[in-house]
Amino acid sequence: MKAQIRLRNTLLTLVTYLIAAAFLFPLVWMFMAAFKTEAQAFATPPVFIFTPTLENFEKAMGSYFPALRNSLIAAVGSTVLAFILGLPAAFALAVYPTRRAQNVLTWMLSTKFMPAVGVIVPLFLIYRNLDLLDTLPGLILMYTTMNLPLVVWMMHSYMTEIPYAIYEAAKVDGATVAQEFFGIALPLSTPGMAATALLCLIFAWNEVFFALNLTSSDAAPLSVFIGEFKTSQGLFWAQLSAAATLVVLPVLIFGWVAQRQLVRGLSFGAVK
Amino acid sequence: MTAAATPHATAAPRRGFRLTPAALIWPALLYLILTTQVPFFMTVYYSFFRYNLAIPGARPFIGLDNYKNLLTDPQNLTILWNTVVLAGGTLILTLIIGAALALLLNRDFPGRALLRTLLISSFLVMPVVTAVVWKNMLLNPAFGFFSWVLTSLGLPPVDFLAQYPMASVIAMITWEWTPFAMLILLTGLQSLPDDQIEAARLDGASPWQEFRFVVLPHWTQAIQVVVLMETIALLQVYGEIYGSTSGGPGLATTNLPYFIYQKAFAEYNIGLASAAGVITVVLTNVLAAYMLRLLTRTSRSE
């Protein structure tokens, strides 16, 4: 009986490893191709053992850096702006949880139901008139819209966990709202802020719809850069893989580190 | 969440703040109104006009003709159907595979933490990267990895994206979204108290009964979160299609977002694209609101 259970457990573990391997395969394949020569990348039967080369990375770098810079500025800029707007709101909604506050929260979440395609046409026309097309501020404005509800919801959920007695004590000492916000709410929710920022960065980094429709060359971030690779250099698999590796790696590392916080952010705190 | 919040509600009015909560909330609120509600109402407005950027000057009001055109042209009905099939098919697959993975990872075995961490990878990959890697390196009929697997098994190579375009796209997006389902469902499982399982076992419950009457009821909330979030996200799938099939062959993988992109930015047909945008928003909101109601109902009853 016991041996049977052990056998069953070993088998289940094996199955888990097999499924995991299948899921990881496309990425592993991409990483491997990044270090192959073009001929090796195309070879049938596929080459599994080869001498790695950095040549592809060197080639991909040239066009990579401007796009990298744009992606970084857009991601960081929109995260900062979403924090500036979202933190006070999250604080107020957490410390004054009236019925209306609940409605405001729900409404903010509902803006996430708004598909980008529902707003892209007027936005494109507005941007064209305001000369915001193909500019980083233009991109940052939309990424902020995307991340703002996330910041409010996540930070609201972290800030409601701060014991109310702490605010009460501060109040007795005559603290103002600003002091409560900067002195209590923010310092005590730093881990939450880190997790939220990471998620915002990942989402902005990976976004493609706004990037593609609101930028063309000057402000084009990495998602557009890779998208263009598909058409112009689609036949250079090794080089494409190198570029894709450079694009994906930072997000992967961030995500692996923050995987626990990921759940909270992705489910808007509904599952903990 | 609400339980912790109630004591604040009674205490709040007594505090004489100069900086009102409204002043803290309005900047965020205003920003979202300006960037989501205002453009959306403009989209609704444009949808009543024959408005093409390639034909400047003329912008006649045509009432509901754009909608009529969208909802009666069989071609466009295909696109609506594609949108639903893509989202629904992916949702079902990610739920099944995600649930299986969550159950498998909810056991104690060596390397579990590492595996859990590695398994979220495909969710973090940029959709466009997913698309180009799958299209070129995996699904390519001549040099792709899958075709090599098929031919080495003695089967003919398959041009996946040409022969089974929708299935291929669903497979790709399922690969991307399964980690999300897995992650949320695993967290849901881990919040199940051990004593509940033990009590069920002491009462002599079979593994199936244990799953059906203890695990599953506890799991509903996590499942609903997955369904809600994925419904919203999957109706908006764009980057994957842009990077792999460009909506083709023909209209086989064109969904509403991709259709709108084509109408607005390739044909400059602002009126029609706007009407399709409104339909997407309505579809998303109807489905999401329905899911959200289910969600709040169960979390309240718990």
Least confident of A122-136, B87-101, B288-302: B288-302
Secondary structure, 3-state, chain B = CHHHHHHHHHHHHHCCCCCCHHHHHHHHHHHHHHHHHHHHHHHHHHCCECCECCCCCCCCECCCHHHHHHHHCHHHHHHHHHHHHHHHHHHHHHHHHHHHHHHHHCCCCCCHHHHHHHHCHHHHCCHHHHHHHHHHHHCCCCCCHHHHHHHHCCCCCCCHHHHCHHHHHHHHHHHHHHHHHHHHHHHHHHCCCHHHHHHHHHCCCCHHHHHHHHHHHHHHHHHHHHHHHHHHHHCCCCHHHHHCCCCCCCCCCCCHHHHHHHHHHCCCEHHHHHHHHHHHHHHHHHHHHHHHHHHHHHHHHC
pTM of the model: 0.86
Q: What's the pLDDT tens digit per position in A119-157?
A: 888 899 899 999 999 999 999 999 999 999 999 999 998
Closest-CA distance, B91 to chain A, in angstroms, reads: 16
Mutate which: B129, B132, B175, vs A, most A CBs within 10 A: B129
The answer to whether residue A209 scores a pLDDT higher than 60 is yes
Rounded Cα distance between A131 and A17, Å, is: 52
Measured between CB atoms, which of A149, A176, A263 is closest to B183?
Answer: A263
All residues of chain A having their beta carbon less than 8 Å from the beta carbon of residue B138 are 26, 29
Q: What's the pLDDT tens digit per position in A69-106?
A: 999 999 999 999 999 999 999 999 988 878 888 888 88
Please report the pLDDT score of residue B8 as a whole number.
46
All residues of chain A having their beta carbon less than 8 Å from the beta carbon of residue B36 are 111, 114, 119, 145
Q: What's the pLDDT tens digit per position in B127-146?
A: 989 998 898 888 888 778 88
CB A112 within 8 A of CB B54: no
Rounded Cα distance between A94 and A26, Å, is: 43
Looking from the CA of A96 toward its CB, the CA atoms found within 13 Å total 24
- Model confidence band, residue B295 (pLDDT cutoffs 50, 70, 90): low
Interchain CB distance below 8 Å, B115 and A17? yes
Please report the pLDDT score of residue B7 as a whole number.
44
Please report the pLDDT score of residue A234 as a whole number.
53
The answer to whether residue B9 scores a pLDDT higher than 50 is no
Interchain CB distance below 8 Å, B232 and A112? yes
Residue B109 contacts A where some CB pair is shorter than 8 Å = yes
Looking at residues A209-235, what average pLDDT do you find?
80
Please report the pLDDT score of residue B151 as a whole number.
86
Closest-CA distance, A262 to chain B, in angstroms, reads: 9
Number of cross-chain residue pairs from A and B with Cβ atoms under 8 Å apart: 316
Looking at residues A29-41, what average pLDDT do you find?
84
Question: Looking at chain B, which residue has its C-alpha nearest residue A20?
Answer: B119
Residue B32 contacts A where some CB pair is shorter than 8 Å = yes
All residues of chain B having their beta carbon less than 8 Å from the beta carbon of residue A17 are 111, 115
- Model confidence band, residue B6 (pLDDT cutoffs 50, 70, 90): very low
Looking at residues A215-222, what average pLDDT do you find?
87
ipTM of the complex: 0.86
